[in-house]
């Protein structure tokens, strides 16, 4: 058990034709899905993210290829490898995240609990630590 993330393994419906994974809100995904986005054609060596969310919950699924996620909650950090299309990475709110080491063929899909709202982002690490202190999380 850790305070940074949890992984969710989805059941692949495999047969002679190949694999199929279905995810349902409030069942496989622990929230109602309001938005889906995905990133691909990521420039080699690039690092993305560098922010936390005040309220947003998300599940990240690398549906093709691989990438790594750096996580930080102000007290501890973790590096998570996403390289399995039937595994999701659940991130609650208030977790700093950076995505890196994308393979050239990586497609990182994200299921989100809210519509896009720039006001929900904390894009400065020092501001994030101050925000956690106001929340008395560290
Ligand atoms: C997160 C990580 C895992 C939109 O217009 N709508 C959207 O739903 C999103 C996600 C982004 N955008 C725009 C905002 C920026 O102009 O797309 C551009 C790239 O977004 P950003 O720089 O925030 O992308 P990342 O890869 O740094 O972060 C994204 C998500 O924004 C973020 O919520 O947790 O992926």
pLDDT, tens only, 101-135 = 999 999 999 999 999 999 999 999 999 999 999 98
Count: domains in the chain: 1
If phi > 0 it is left, if psi is from -120 to 50 it is alpha, else beta; for residue 118 that is alpha
pLDDT at residue 1 greater than cutoff 80: no
Under 8 Å CB-to-CB from 1, ≥6 apart: which residues?
none
pLDDT at residue 137 greater than cutoff 80: no
| Smallest CA separation from ligand 1 atom 21, residue | 49
- 124 domain residue, yes or no: yes
Mutation pick for ligand 1 pocket among 110, 115, 128 (CB with most ligand atoms within 8 Å): 110
Whole-model pTM: value is: 0.97
What is the rounded average pLDDT of the residues 66-71?
98
Q: Ligand 1, residue 91: give the atom nearest the CA.
A: 34
Mutation pick for ligand 1 pocket among 46, 51, 100, 108 (CB with most ligand atoms within 8 Å): 51
- 15 domain residue, yes or no: no
Looking at residue 34, which CATH number applies to its domain?
Answer: 2.60.120.10
Structure tokens at 47: 């690092």
Question: Which residue range is the domain that position 35 belongs to?
Answer: 5-9+21-137
- 39 domain residue, yes or no: yes
37 pLDDT tier (thresholds 50, 70, 90): very high
């Amino acid at each position: 058990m850790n305070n940074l993330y949890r992984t969710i393994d989805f059941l692949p419906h495999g047969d002679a034709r190949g694999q199929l994974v279905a995810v349902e809100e409030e069942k496989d995904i622990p929230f109602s899905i309001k938005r889906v986005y995905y990133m691909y054609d990521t420039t080699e060596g690039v690092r993305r993210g560098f922010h936390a969310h005040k309220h947003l919950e998300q599940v990240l699924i690398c549906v093709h290829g691989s990438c790594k996620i750096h996580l930080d909650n102000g007290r501890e950090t973790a590096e998570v490898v996403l390289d399995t299309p039937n595994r999701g990475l659940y991130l609650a709110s208030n977790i700093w995240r950076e995505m890196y080491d994308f393979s050239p063929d990586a497609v990182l899909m994200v299921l989100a609990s809210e519509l896009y709202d720039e006001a929900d982002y904390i894009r400065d690490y020092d501001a994030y630590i101050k925000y956690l202190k106001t929340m008395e999380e560290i």
